[in-house]
Structure 1
Amino acid sequence: MNRTMSALFVVAALALTGCATHSEPATGTNTPAAGFPVTVTPTGGKAVTIATRPTHIVSLSPASTEDLFAIGAGQQVTAVDKLSDFPATAPKSDLDAYKPNVEAIAARKPDLVIVYSDTNNLVAGLEQLKLPVLLLKAATSLDDAYGQLALLGKATGHSAEADKLVGDMKSQIADVVAKTAKKPLSYFHELSADGYTVTSKTFVGQVYGLFGLRNVADAAGGAGDYPQLSAEQVVAADPNLIFLADTTCCQQSAATVAARPGWGTLKAVRNGNVVTLDDSVASRWGPRVVDLVKAVAAAVQKAS
């Protein structure tokens, strides 16, 4: 597997995996079936018309699953892929987002399908069966994440709930950022122990940018938004903060980082600023991005 394909695999895997330990959002109650049919247009995609308020939604995107339950559409979701682990009440199935099967999805008799990627021409296959399908790719910014919540609200008949959630998220994030003093700190965000990381252009990179942090991966110009840094590059950069987004998947910790050859001398290690993140919170762009913002804020406040 070449370097580019390895990076894409890591990013896709982390966007779909991770174990959550937070409390579950309330599913809410269904709102009246008003305003249908509706037409929604995902970012960079084509318009999709939904004839009636969906009651048999299938989600093959863990981030979208979280969105649906957070806006009160959980009762309309009848099946989610096997990696949708939050909330715990989500109707997990054997559907595979990595290897989607059109027939298996159709057998669930959905009236709306939500997918994360168009693997194996999945969208065209579902459209041939006259099944409404929304392709919601990984958000590239906070505004994109808010937009997906609003879109799902409109698509499911929960626009008011989605708008309120977006407003609450914006308010909470703004409050956390305002209360966190800016410091001239550098950081390294670890996707996997073999050095895959993110640049400031990514969704998670923009979260760090809210606090004015400098990303050491940005210096690896020309390597894409998800470059692989060598251990020597990280050691040479000597970041003030190291954030681990591979704690659940790969059992990485402050101790394992300190044990790596040469890493024990890093400022982040010596000062106790190796931060363990919940993998799924750090890789999804749903409502729990607020938790990620709070985790980064706490790390910045502690660091010197």
Structure 2
Amino acid sequence: MRNFPPRRIVCLTEETVETLYLLGEQDRIVGVSGYAVRPSQVRREKPRVSAFISADIPKILALAPDLVLAFSDLQADIVAELIRAGVAVHVFNQRDLAGILAMIRTLGAMVDATDRAERLATDLARRLAAIAAMPRPAPRPKVYFEEWDDPLISGIGWVSELVEIAGGADVLPHLRAHKAARERIVAPDAVRETMPDVIMASWCGKKVVPDRIRKRPGWGDIPAVRNNRIVEIKSTIILQPGPAALTDGLDAIVKALWPTNA
């Protein structure tokens, strides 16, 4: 980066947008992902320059950013093109709760807001601890979290952790360490055999259709299906590895697990 702290930042995913707003550093943002919806004013305040795996490179370059923030190998092609154009890029790759908190602290340091970022990360960590410490009746409800429906893909690391913090038991915990979605593909029969009490679904930007889940062969005997406990968790609050997942996303999981107490 030629400038420190950077004055013109483009964010290619939503979690860095929300974090910069929470840090009071939103004036540095000159372009955002089309998926950025938090806080609500971002859609009218900031020009949209990208989807998730595609971007309007000329539009980004015209904004003259001194830093572009990206996420994961899925944006590698965009990043490579920007680097070839001489743009400074930082790629985050957080896939668990510790990584999300580290992202907040790192981004804070990058915009010279280290103290504010530390306070934000600490407050979020305390919130997680407080919710995890709440007394819940035993046994823990068994939860299957579905990130995609064709093929079936189970929840990523931070989602699995949040289910447990909320008082649930992930029925496929061994998959949480797999970063790539293709490594979390599961067979319908494998899910059925776990007999989850609650099914939570967030089809990555596509509306969840509970009836499709109910009609899967052999799934009628699953307790979650039998008891009509199929709950959509909006992807904007759970599949973004940032503050949204630790606040509204976690609250939605708690409500799905404990509807009479949430």
Shorter-chain TM-score above 0.5: yes
Shift of 1:270: 2.2
Letter in 2 for 1:189: F
Aligned residue for 1:106, secondary structure, equals helix
In structure 2, what residue type is equivalent to 1:275?
Answer: V
Change in CA separation of 1:168 and 1:301 when aligned onto 2, cut-off 3 Å: same
Please show how residues 107-186 of structure 1 align to structure 2 within 5 Å.
Answer: 107-117=62-72, 119=75, 121-137=77-93, 139-181=94-136, 183-186=139-142
TM superposition shift of 1:148? 0.6
Which residue of the partner structure matches residue 210 of structure 1? 165
Q: How does 1:282-297 map to 2 (within 5 A)?
A: 282-289=238-245, 290-297=247-254
SS of the residue corresponding to residue 64 of structure 2 reads coil
Specify whether residues 214 and 158 from structure 1 end up closer, same or farther in structure 2 by C-alpha distance, changes over 3 A only. same
1:87 corresponds to: 39
> Which region of structure 1 is more displaced relative to structure 2, 288-297 or 208-217?
208-217
Q: Which runs of 5+ in 1 are unaligned?
A: 1-48
SS at match of 2:253: helix
Q: Matched residues, percent identical?
A: 21
- Aligned equivalents of 1:53 and 1:239: distance in 2? 48
Counterpart of 1:65 in structure 2 is 17
Higher relative contact order (CA 8 A, sep 6+): 1
Match of 1:239 in 2: 196
| Contact preservation (8 Å) 2:157, 2:179 | no
**Residue 52 (structure 1) aligns with:** 4
The one-letter code sitting in structure 2 at the alignment partner of 1:176 is: I
1:60 Cα deviation after fit = 0.7
Distance 1:221 1:295 in 2: 20
Task: Measure the CA separation in 2 of the matches of 1:202 and 1:295.
Answer: 17
5+ long unaligned stretches in structure 2 = none
What RMSD, in angstroms, separates the aligned Cα atoms of the two structures? 3.0
**1:266 aligned to which of 203, 219, 222:** 222
Partners of 1:85 and 1:224 lie apart in 2 by 24
Alpha-carbon displacement from aligned partner over 1:69-113 (angstroms, at most 9, x marks no partner):
222111211111222232232214243441245443222111211
Distance 1:221 1:124, change over 3 A: closer
Distance 1:110 1:248 in 2: 28
Give the distance between the partners of 1:93 and 1:250, measured in 2 at CA.
22
Count of matched residue positions in the alignment of Structure 1 and Structure 2 = 252
TM-score (norm 1): 0.72
Instruction: Note if contact 2:152-2:188 (Cα within 8 Å) is conserved in structure 1.
Output: no
> Which position in structure 1 is the counterpart of 2:234?
278
* 2:32 corresponds to 1:76: no
The residue type equivalent to 2:104 in the other structure is: L
CA distance in 1, matches of 2:38, 2:176: 35
Letter aligned with residue 260 of structure 1: R
